[in-house]
Amino acid sequence: MSEKILNKDKWSDFVSNVASSKQVWTMTGDDTVTFTPCAEAEEAPGKVLNATVPPKNVVFPQTETLFRFMFGQLEAELPEEAQEAVVLGLRPCDARAMNIVDDLFSWDEEDTYYQDKRQKTTLVGLACNEPGINCFCTSLEGSPASTEGLDVIMADLGEKYYLQAITDKGDKLLADVSGQLEDASDNDKKAFQELAEAAEGKIKRGIDASGIPEGLPNLWEHELWQKVSEACLGCGACTYLCPTCHCFDIQDELEGFKGRRCRMWDSCMYGEYTLHASGHNPRPTRRERTRNRINHKYNYYVEKFDKIACVGCGRCINQCPVNIDILNILSKVKEAL
Amino acid sequence: MIDLDKLRNTAAETVSRDDVKHLVGWKKGTFGYRVAPCVIENAEEAESLVFSPLCAANLATYITLPEKLPVPKGEQPDDRKTALMVKGCDSRAVVQMLVEQGIDRDQVVIIGCSCQGVVDLQKVEEKFPEPLDTVEAEWKEDKIVFKLPDGEEEVARDEVLADNCLICRYPNPVIADVSLGSEVEPAKDGEDSSVKEIEDLSLDDRWEFWEKEFSNCIRCYSCRNVCPMCYCDDCVMDRLNPAWIYRSVNYSENTVFNLSRAFHLVGRCVDCGECERVCPMGLPLGKLNRKLAREVREKYEYEPGLDPEEKPFQASYRPDDQEDFIL
């Protein structure tokens, strides 16, 4: 697999070069950062720790048209096929998250909407040199320079980036846009490995997840759920900003005689999420909803796909308005086991 | 400044009362500058309570937040009171709920805490990046002291206070069963100058400003859920049939959502700043609410959340209301 060097002053040329044949998604925004398509980028990535909203929207848009229809007509109009896309500068945790969610979208049926975009997307990750205070990827088989799910990994070596292709898809991308790239030396590779090792040592928080998936079913009625959910506002910030949360709702939206069926992100923290047509709600309070959020990530998903559906990106901890801290919940779970 | 021992003793006494179910207060968070709302049920737990410039959460929300489950046959509903600690703005939210008859006065025990303003975490983080260790903070004259892992740091209050606190007109609780702390002077200038800045923009520029902001909304409903005045059992945003507002996240639906909420808060918003604080996407929702609150104050001489005997704004027609601005 090829190993290349990209000087930072050539970043914008590099982005334009990639964007000439593919849709490019990069982090944009000042205070709140999101991944958005762009034709050119002025700033090289790495300034912010991570995007506020994870790049799951590239393959799983918050609102997605499944088909359009017209009253009185039997034929539905399908949306256009996805374009080839490249996500530049996503963090390794978010790429791991996509790998985890892939299983769900190809489980009983191939989800063609998701898979079409996923297969056409190349992920160029940026290793973390300075993890945040609530990053805990190392507790969940990840690391600041994990290559899992990535096609290319980049590392910030100061004035330049080191790029290493991980998959054939990544190799092809680097070959296609070789204009701005130079060959990497052994020293560059060594510098990357040293940075990766140093970054791993900077992770401060964590949890030993062993025993949690098997233990959770026994804690179903434990009093801890009441305690950890009492401050919860029942908003969707933790789930919408989670790179592995993938729940969606499907609704029809009408405009005159035209309509579209679309799917949109949904959140298990909403009361309406499990509300039955009868008025009965099997998860009537925030206690059950919080319990479900933890169980889905650390129990149900493990049972079904043998993977914990959490990558330790820390977004839910950082963004919760009332300091509901998943590591705090998990340590209470460990205590109760 | 409120003496913490006094606060904890008051809380312990209150929560020990037979007619009190639990007390809602603030406790130390799990890291950095965070403070978490907490529900305590006995006197021992009162030891964990804190009150500091980090206690931004408006606890009035927790009066109506708990879901009401059906009472099993043969059992009596638990109608004991909820005790809660309130700052000036929180107390106004309680009063406004009383005005709207959303709650009964004998449902709550109010512990009033005079407040010298809470911090905006973003402003603090620009000065001192958030450490992993829990940081304590306290008011000291016109400064705020942060007890960081590397030592204490003092900052002028005005540099780190939340925008709504800089213009706070009611720092002292307007209703309380027990009052703690000495009286705090209201802000000298109670107007938000940034609202004027937007008003002064051309129509096109204003449109562009809000289009950009509303486009960023991810509709997580943090603003709605944290808002003490958003306490409807059945929110119009959750209705599917008819769906008044589509769940699609796009500029058009987001605008309808945010403007509907702003208009539902006309003459009701107490400017606690919570919507703005919790928004993960940083939407300046306070500007919208402050603009409407100012219209109500100037045009109708009405300020919500001050007098429990007052009529709700939209039910308070007065023959001498100004008419000169009506088309």
Q: Where are the beta strands (DSSP E) in chain A?
A: 3-7, 23-28, 34-37, 63-70, 85-90, 121-126, 152-156, 160-165, 181-183, 248-255, 258-265
Q: Does residue A195 sit in the same domain as residue A223? A: no
pLDDT band at B239 (very low <50, low <70, confident <90, very high): confident
pLDDT at A11: 92
**Of A201, A226, A244, which marks where a domain is finished?**
A201
Q: Which domain holds residue B262?
A: 4-67+79-315
> Which whole-number Å values give the CA distances from A54 to A38, A90, A337, B84, B296, in the listed order?
16, 8, 32, 36, 40
Lowest average pLDDT, out of B125-134, B183-192, B196-205, goes to: B183-192
Q: Does residue A273 sit in the same domain as residue A175? A: no
B326 falls within a domain: no
Q: Does residue A328 sit in the same domain as residue A187? A: no
Q: Which domain holds residue A89?
A: 3-201
Residue A261's nearest CA partner among A103, A132, A69 is A69
pLDDT at A25: 96
pLDDT at A1: 85
Q: Does residue A194 sit in the same domain as residue A289? A: no
When divided into structural domains, chain A yields a total of: 2
Q: Does residue A70 sit in the same domain as residue A139? A: yes
Q: Summarize the confidence of residues A84-90 as an average pLDDT.
A: 96
When divided into structural domains, chain B yields a total of: 1
Would you call A97 exposed, middle or buried from its count of C-beta atoms within 10 A (0-12, 13-18, 19+)?
buried
Half-sphere exposure in the Cβ direction for A284 (13 Å, CA): 8
A207 falls within a domain: no
Inter-chain touch A285–B67, beta carbons under 8 Å: yes
Measure the N-to-C terminal CA separation of chain A; round to a whole number of Å: 45
Task: Please name the helix (run of DSSP H) or strand (run of DSSP E) that holds residue A327, with its range, or none.
Answer: helix A326-336
Query: Does residue B52 register a pLDDT over 80?
Result: yes
Q: Who among A240, A249, A321 is closest to B218 (CB)?
A: A240
Q: Does residue A332 sit in the same domain as residue A183? A: no
Using one digit for the tens of pLDDT, what is the confidence trace for A43-67? 788 888 999 999 999 999 999 999 9
Q: Does residue A217 sit in the same domain as residue A196? A: no
Query: Does residue B327 register a pLDDT over 70?
Result: no
**Of A201, A224, A247, which marks where a domain is finished?**
A201
Render A225-274 in DSSP notation, one character per residue: HHHHHTT----SHHHHT-SS---EEEEEEEETTEEEEEEEE--TTSGGGG
- Residue A133 and residue B178: Cα distance in Å, rounded? 39
- Entry pTM: 0.95
Q: Does residue A216 sit in the same domain as residue A197? A: no
Angle at A315 between CA A311 and CA A317, to 5 degrees: 105
- Residue B85 and residue B115: Cα distance in Å, rounded? 11
Using one digit for the tens of pLDDT, what is the confidence trace for A225-243? 999 999 999 999 999 999 9
Using one digit for the tens of pLDDT, what is the confidence trace for A6-23? 999 999 999 999 999 999
Quick one: tokens of A239?
């789930």
B72 falls within a domain: no
C-beta of residue B210 within 8 angstroms of C-beta of residue B255: yes
B118 falls within a domain: yes
- Residue A208 and residue A140: Cα distance in Å, rounded? 8
Kindly identify which residue of chain A lies nearest to residue B23, measuring between CA atoms.
A230
Query: Does residue B323 register a pLDDT over 80?
Result: no
Q: Is A87 helix (H, G, I), strand (E, B) or coil?
A: strand
Q: Is A107 helix (H, G, I), strand (E, B) or coil?
A: coil
Q: Does residue A48 sit in the same domain as residue A185? A: yes
| Percent share of chain A, pLDDT over 70 | 100
Q: Summarize the confidence of residues B160-186 as an average pLDDT.
A: 95
A315 falls within a domain: yes
**Of A168, A201, A234, which marks where a domain is finished?**
A201
B73 falls within a domain: no
Would you call A115 exposed, middle or buried from its count of C-beta atoms within 10 A (0-12, 13-18, 19+)?
middle
**Residues of chain B in Cβ contact (below 8 Å) with chain A:** 29-32, 34-39, 57, 61, 65-67, 69, 122, 130-132, 216, 218-222, 224-226, 238, 240, 243, 246-250, 274, 277-278, 280-282
Q: Summarize the confidence of residues A108-118 as an average pLDDT.
A: 95
Using one digit for the tens of pLDDT, what is the confidence trace for B91-114? 999 999 999 999 999 999 999 999
B281 falls within a domain: yes
- Residue A52 and residue B46: Cα distance in Å, rounded? 35
B248 falls within a domain: yes
B322 falls within a domain: no
Angle at A26 between CA A20 and CA A29, to 5 degrees: 130
pLDDT band at B2 (very low <50, low <70, confident <90, very high): confident
- Residue A224 and residue A231: Cα distance in Å, rounded? 13
Q: Does residue A173 sit in the same domain as residue A271? A: no
C-beta of residue A165 within 8 angstroms of C-beta of residue A171: yes
Q: Does residue A172 sit in the same domain as residue A219? A: no
Q: Does residue A46 sit in the same domain as residue A142? A: yes
Lowest average pLDDT, out of A157-171, A258-272, A304-318, B237-251, goes to: B237-251
B327 falls within a domain: no
Most B CBs within 10 A among A136, A230, A238, A250, hence the mutation to make, goes to A230
Inter-chain touch B66–A285, beta carbons under 8 Å: yes
Q: Summarize the confidence of residues B277-289 as an average pLDDT.
A: 96
